[in-house]
Amino acid sequence: MDDKPFPDHHTTTTTVTSSNTTVQTNIRYDPAYFKTVPGLVKCIQVLLNILVFLCVCLTKYSNVGQLSFMSLICGFGFWFTGSLLAFYLFHIIEKFYKVPWLKIELIYSALWTLMLLIGSTVCAAHMGYGAIFGVVSFFGYLNMIAYGFDTFLKFRAIQNGEIAQGERVVVKTTSSANSPQAY
């Protein structure tokens, strides 16, 4: 049996990862959020929620179960997404940076994507009763796409270790050390 010789030196590599989170905890209005991708997506979601809600409310079929379900989804979606939009605009999210906002938004967006898929599909199945079912299902599907895209954005942000608002700088330091030769 052939034994391998003992190495005469070895290398030790150490990697240190440190992150620095910078937030401003004062409440202030920041209209620049409208120009970001998440800000635009939230505005589209709010507008589509209002549009579907008003389409349902202004029709004679508003008491039909399928449309009532879409009205419920878009009513809650309007208030929750509108509140989040206001929180981002006034940096309330940044003030409470320890709250896992991205995870909350990820769960909310994924749930609303699923609910809009169900509601829009049920409305599309009943298009024979009136044109409003087609209109509601069309805008419901558009809203579902917006929420699905928001879910994707939140998933990627969580995966990259980002925070909802503010800055996080991650620094990786790698050092190597060679040991002296053996005696």
Encode 48-92 in three state secondary structure: HHHHHHHHHHCCCCCCCHHHHHHHHHHHHHHHHHHHHHHHHHCCH
Please tell me the distance from the alpha carbon of residue 69 to that of residue 63, in angstroms, as a whole number.
10
Average pLDDT over residues 159-175: 72
pLDDT of residue 182: 56
The highest-confidence range among 14-18, 57-61, 101-105, 161-165, by mean pLDDT, is: 101-105
The reply to whether 150 falls in a domain is: yes
Beta bridge partners of 167: 22
Asked which of 7-11, 51-55, 124-128 is least confident by mean pLDDT, the reply is 7-11
Please tell me the distance from the alpha carbon of residue 33 to that of residue 29, in angstroms, as a whole number.
9
What pTM value is reported for the model? 0.78
Q: Phi and psi of 16, rounded to 5°?
A: -115, 125
The reply to whether 143 falls in a domain is: yes
User: How many distinct structural domains can be found in the chain?
Assistant: 1
Q: Which pLDDT tens digit goes with each residue over 66-123?
A: 888 999 999 999 999 999 999 999 988 888 888 899 999 999 999 999 999 999 999 9
Q: Two tokens at 59?
A: 């029709």
Please tell me the distance from the alpha carbon of residue 107 to that of residue 153, in angstroms, as a whole number.
12
Domain span at residue 107? 31-160
C-alpha to C-alpha distances, 139 to 26, 78, 157, nearest whole angstrom = 37, 14, 27
The reply to whether 171 falls in a domain is: no
Please tell me the distance from the alpha carbon of residue 118 to that of residue 88, in angstroms, as a whole number.
29
**146 or 66: which carries more pLDDT confidence?**
146
Handedness of CA 25, 30, 32, 37 (dihedral sign): positive
The reply to whether 13 falls in a domain is: no
Token pair 């940076």: residue:
97
183 pLDDT higher than 60 = no
pLDDT of residue 164: 77
pLDDT of residue 116: 96
Q: Which pLDDT tens digit goes with each residue over 9-47?
A: 667 777 766 666 666 777 888 888 889 999 999 999 999
The reply to whether 6 falls in a domain is: no
pLDDT of residue 83: 95
pLDDT of residue 166: 65
Q: Two tokens at 90?
A: 């006034």
The reply to whether 152 falls in a domain is: yes
